[in-house]
Every structure is written in structure tokens, then in C-alpha cells.
Amino acid sequence: MTTEINSEKVFSRTEGLCDIRQHYCPGCSHGIVHRLVGETLVELGVLERTVGVCPVGCAVFAYDYFNCDMLEASHGRAPAVATGVKRAVPDAIVFTYQGDGDLASIGMGEIVHAAARSENITVVFINNAIYGMTGGQMAPTTLLGQVSSTSPLGRDVKRTGYPIRVSELLATLDGATYITRQTVNNPKEVMATKKALAKAFSTQIEGKGFSLVEILCTCPTWLGRSPIESMTWIDEKMREVYPLGVVVDRTAER
């Protein structure tokens, strides 16, 4: 005897992501953020005219993950590559997806000038306070005292200075139209991040210039904590240095 089950599909992969297995570690935030970006592009109806630019770092394979046209940039240069695409094809929706080493260390020049020009692109900035792909080295966003493979006794302010608050730094530039800092360590923040991404991409769609969503993310592998402990660490440690919320919003003036 067979039993008929009436099932309803309530959850599936977004069309904004390719049907491919991702390489990210368990507990890493990249998967959540990828999904949010993919969903946002679908919901805004722009997926088919989107060009993404992925970085060097853990998201280096993202050209295989986002279900839109994708370019892989050299380390730190994604905003310059995105500028080239956007200037050549102004109708395209162009985003970069960059980590803290890529964006705030080797690529600091490119991100600052893209913001200053109010380049009409959207930047998804993953801040997990560490270099992931290369093995847990100190990043420009590593917290004071945080242990990494190149600050084994903890980040020492006397030798390595202070963490960089990218969003606040960029917000000083008139060209920065919309910058916000979010996290994805609980469902409420995930929903808030999605709203922020929608606003950032809408800023671009409306031709209002540079938008950036900084997202505080977990790296359990190199933080040496469990996924849950890593999420708690964001609330207990990271948010103190990197407060959440809108850092600048000039969309009404543009």
C-alpha cells in the first residue's frame, strides 16, 4: 500500500545562484551572503543584466557561484575592473564581492577612488577580520589582541597599529552614496542585511552612485572557534569595534 503525500516546495536554491556545490567551510558566512545577493538580484529583476566581479581570497571561486556574468579580478583590483565594465556598459548592474584583505589592504586605493568617483557600482564587503584563503593571517580589520597566524601572540597595537573601519573611512567621501554595516549571525540580522543589499543595488539601479554593504562575517576555521562561538564572537567582540547600522545615506540628495 502506498501513502500519498501532498508536499509543497517551500524552500529552494535561488535562481541567483548556480546549481553547484560551494567550497566554503562549515559555519562560514559566505554561503548566506551569496544567497542574499543572488535573491536580491532576482527580486530586483536585474540578474540577466548583472556583471559580478569576484576577488582574490575565499570568494575567488564565486564566478562559478553567482548565476550572472562574472569576472575574476586580481587581488584588490575588483573596483577598478568593475569601473571598466560599468563605464563600457552603463546599463549593466555591476557589483564587486570582496573580503577584508582584498578590499582594505592590497585594494585600499581602488576602493577609495571608486567611492570618491561615486562609481555607480555596488560593493559587497565581507569583513571577517582575517585572511581566510591563505591560512588565517592578520588582516587590516583584525581586532587588537586577536590571534592570527602572523600575530600569534595577538595583534599588538605598537607593532601593527589599529583596525581599519572601512565604512566610516569611505563615508567621509562625498562620492559615497550609501554605506551600511550589517551582519548575518542571526535571522533578524540576515533579514536586515537583505534589505540593505536591496537598498544598495537600488541605489545603483537608480543611478545614484556608489553603494557598499559591509557584512561582519564568521570564519570559524581561522578564528579557531565553533560556528556558534564564532557568531557569538561577532556580537561580543566585533560589533564593539564595528558598530552595525547605516554609516552614510545620501540617496535622498542624489
Question: Toward another protein, which CB reaches closer, 17 or 216?
Answer: 17
The answer to whether the CB of 150 falls within 8 A of the CB of 138 is yes
152: its cell numbers? 600569534
Q: How far is the CB of 233 from another protein (least distance, A)?
A: 30
For residue 99, report the phi and psi dihedrals to the nearest 5 degrees: -90, 180
195: its cell numbers? 534589505
CA distance 207 to 202: 8
Interface stretch with another protein, choices 3-11, 90-98, 124-132, 201-209 (CB under 8 A)? 90-98
Question: Which of residues 13, 74, 174, 243 is near another protein by CB under 8 A?
Answer: 74
Task: Give the contact letters, 36-55, x = binds to another protein (CB under 8 A), - = no.
Answer: ------------xxxx-x--
Interface stretch with another protein, choices 27-35, 57-65, 165-173, 180-188 (CB under 8 A)? 57-65
% helix, strand, coil for the chain, step of 5: 40, 20, 45
Interface stretch with another protein, choices 79-87, 179-187, 223-231, 234-242 (CB under 8 A)? 79-87
The answer to whether the CB of 115 falls within 8 A of the CB of 211 is no
Task: Give the contact letters, 12-41, x = binds to another protein (CB under 8 A), - = no.
Answer: ------x-----------------------
Instruction: Provide CB contacts within 8 A for 213, sequence distance 6+.
Output: 122, 123, 124, 125, 179, 180, 181, 182, 193, 196, 197, 200
Using CB under 8 A as the binding rule, whether residue 109 contacts another protein is answered as yes
Q: How many CB atoms lie within 10 A of CB 48?
A: 11
Using CB under 8 A as the binding rule, whether residue 229 contacts another protein is answered as no
Using CB under 8 A as the binding rule, whether residue 110 contacts another protein is answered as yes
Residue ranges that bind another protein, judged by CB under 8 A: 18, 48-51, 53, 60-61, 63-64, 67-74, 77, 80-89, 91-94, 109-110, 112-113
